[in-house]
Amino acid sequence: MTTTHQARTAAPAARVVEVGPGPVTPEQLVAVARHGAAVRLTDEAYGALDRGRAVVEGLAAGETPAYGISTGFGALATRHIPADMRAKLQRSLVRSHAAGSGPEVEREVVRGLMLLRLSTLATGHTGVRRVTAQLLADLLAHGITPVVREHGSLGCSGDLAPLSHCALALIGEGEVRDADGVLMPAAEALAAAGLQPVELAAKEGLALINGTDGMLAMLVLAIHDLRVLLRSADVAAAMSVEAQLATDRVFAADLMRLRPHPGQAASAANLVAILTDSGVVASHRGPDCHRVQDAYSLRCSPQVHGAARDSVDHADRVAGWELASVVDNPMVLFGEDGEDGRVESNGNFHGAPVAQVLDFLAIAAADVAGISERRTDRFLDRNRSHDLPPFLADDPGVDSGLMIAQYTQAAIVSELKRLAVPASVDSIPSSAMQEDHVSMGWGAARKLRRSVDGLARVVAIETMTAARALDLRVSTGSTTGVRPSPATEAVVRLLREHGVEGPGPDRHLSPEIEASVALVASGAVLDAVTATIGELQ
């Protein structure tokens, strides 16, 4: 699986995000990371940068060793570094820590982590100079994206290797991609943009690489995408309930109030709204219907989707706390009067809070994908589909219909279960046992991106399967000529307009699956529903 089809809303108009001492918002991160918005440091940020830098320079001029300013790093922190070697110390730190390996990380992730590092720098608590912070802002503004490699971060002392690859570009070294995606040396890209590399001063190399910014950027992007996908899963579930002649009575608000989980109530309300005015649902509400209860995958959709929604809400709270955090080690602190600054070592760089919710969301994605696949499978089994043709095939036996589309779902769901195994419970000691417990948050974030992509694909296959089943319902059997709900009819129409054809003889199916994935992941399926019945919860 790739992460090609991350859920995206329409790109906003080009704009500039101002970065000051306060936290950036998730909306600002998405605008910069995904939609290419530029950034600008505020006057307040410059003031904070100058104040923090004054503290660092005062300590650098003193005789007392200060970690990260006049000493080595990690297990080498006991060595005092003389003043004439400190520029080399910072440069060597960045070069040695830019040790990533593997495929390039996506542009949106790199831009996101650059923005978050800049936000921390702008607080003044890291002690970097304004020229260094400004160059990081300039790289974002010019669309210059350092090449960051997939493997290298343990998620403790921050995302050291990924951030080091970004810091390397600031000193004019390493590889970057320009605004057009062309790979080139960093020095060449800086020169083409009229920018000068910086020579890092005391503490600056450390301040540029010591943060949870990569895993946090991926968390914020995943939350954004999952909010789209979980509502899209409600749409798919409603289509399945309708096309499998199930009841919507189990989603009634008074039933939901008996178990007051907010996500469950929201999902159930969405199902009721989507199925409103469905002729198909109304057609089997009379005394002739002898079905007592629907299968769990239909009846319990709000409970499963709602649990995932509540998990996303919890992750969003954690992300908000982390966005408001300043992560570096050591940290520049100020007295109550703004004077008498000091530098203190700390453990705020440990990625455990972020890593655990990243793992939590991978579990939620796997669970929602699992129930979606089960709803899809019911359509294809003639013993459970209530008079639909086997595999929704045109001529069963000659045609296989959507048989293998469900195989694709099953393969993805199986992978999502593997990806749901938590990364944050693992730890491998590093730095000669100085860093003896790490979060593995970067790994948790990388697998969550695959999970989000997989969920989009599974929901898309359910959506196209339910659409074909609805077409068959309204053209054959007891529901001939009966109209589905306006909302689900709008989704079927959208699919047909984008090359996802209705029932008929077998044809090359992969392009239709990919078209469905794009419509689900982009939010187009959700938009088709909301344009018809209004916003969903």
Q: Could you give the residue numbers annotated as active site? A: 67
**Separation of alpha carbons 233 and 239, rounded Å:** 10
* SS3 track for 19-42: ECCCCCCHHHHHHHHHHCCEEEEC
Answer positive or negative: Cα dihedral of 249, 254, 256, 259.
negative
CB atoms within 10 A of CB 6: 21
Could you give phi then psi for residue 102, rounded to 5 degrees?
100, -165
Answer positive or negative: Cα dihedral of 519, 521, 522, 524.
positive
Strands 16-19 and 38-41: parallel
Cis check: omega of the bond before 262, within 30 degrees of 0:
no
**Separation of alpha carbons 166 and 49, rounded Å:** 20
Number of helices (H), then strands (E), belonging to the chain: the values are 20, 9
Nearest to 309 by CA among 368, 354, 391, 387: 368
Angle, vertex CA 414, rays to CA 231 and CA 9, nearest 5: 30
**Separation of alpha carbons 89 and 201, rounded Å:** 9
**Are 232 and 495 contacting, i.e. CB atoms less than 8 angstroms apart?**
no
Rounded to 10°, the helix 510-521/441-475 angle is 110
**Separation of alpha carbons 77 and 89, rounded Å:** 12
Alpha helices in 345-485 (DSSP H): 352-380, 403-419, 441-475
Residue whose structure tokens are 């938590």: 422
